[in-house]
Amino acid sequence: MKKAILLISTGSPDSYRVRDIVKYLYRFLNDRRIISLPAWARFLVVCRTVLSSRSFRSSKRYRLLYDMNHGIFPLLLHCSLLKNRLEERLGADVFTGMCFGKPSIAGCLQAIADRGISRVMIIPMHPHYASSASGLSLEKAMKGLGRFPFVPEIVSISSFFREKGYIGAFVERIREYDYENFDAIVFSYHSLPLSHVKKWDAKYPGECAETTELICSELGITTAATCFQSQMTKKWLGPETKSTVLEMLRNGKKRILIVAPSFVSDCLETEVELGVELKNFFLQNGGEELQVVKSLNEHPAWVDFIVKKYNDLMN
């Protein structure tokens, strides 16, 4: 029996150029799991958004990300390196697909069909379940597989926010930093629209809080903040990371360590939103040091976690 792993991430635009940003945002925002409006209303909102200055701002941020990483988007780099590490360890086919952008999920599924693979483990690269993240990834994979005459046996993982291997991997990452000598540690998670939390993702805030508690328990940390980033409007889940950091600064905490457990691969949100924009904001308001813990990427403990899941569920 041929087996494989399909790792699914949200994705990146093809380039930092405005035309590619517009194409990426149009596809991303036009998904019903991202903007939960009737199709006609969603189309109007999306067109207004992608044709506004948002696309130009996003282009500048992606250009910065591209330059910081020597001409490649880090999500693509780390997914590729993770794929290589897993194939070395498992001797199985590993595919990395993006909900939006390349490599596409459709291309991965075609390769799975062409190779006659009969059992697939699907892992959305989102530790905490959200309809617009893990739900979206699983829906695209399942729908895509349904196009083929032979549908392989599927083993899917919808979340892993409390699993020992994932928690342990982030603990190892944080230990690479002098975490005990910072004035405060902030755990920043990706925010969601409050309407999504109310309708579909009521467990999401609690899952994030539990991840913070488990990591802190392993490290012996007694006080840490849980907050949320990437809000598009005030009607998104908070407290906001930027506001949390500013309040800490006002309370005399001038050296802050940021951990972003929502993201298992470094990307725009970790490297630019936190590592550049939040850091500059913090320093401009009197802070002395703000460091962002690197994501799991292809860390050996993270590879070990996925290998163990594969061996437990696929053998």
Residue 46's pLDDT is 75
pLDDT at 38: 81
For 146, counting Cβ atoms within 10 Å of its Cβ (0-12 exposed, 13-18 middle, 19+ buried), the class is exposed
- Which H or E element spans position 309? helix 300-314
As a whole number of angstroms, the distance between CA 195 and CA 179 comes to: 35
Distance of alpha carbon 229 from alpha carbon 263, whole angstroms: 12
> What is the strand order of the sheet 255-259 is part of?
225-229, 184-190, 255-259, 289-292
Contact 15, 132 (CB under 8 A): no
Q: What is the pLDDT of residue 50?
A: 66
How do residues 101-134 score in pLDDT, each as one tens digit? 999 999 999 999 999 999 999 999 999 999 999 9
Ranges of residues in the chain whose predicted pLDDT is under 50: none
pTM attached to this predicted model? 0.95
What's the pLDDT at 54?
Answer: 78
Which H/E stretch holds residue 212? helix 204-219
Cα–chain-centroid distance for residue 179? Answer: 23
pLDDT digits (tens, 9 = 90+) for 129-143: 999 999 999 999 999
Domains and CATH numbers, the chain: 3-160+300-314 (3.40.50.1400), 164-292 (3.40.50.1400)
pLDDT attached to residue 180: 94
What pLDDT sits at residue 51?
Answer: 67
Angle at 243 between CA 242 and CA 244, to 5 degrees: 90
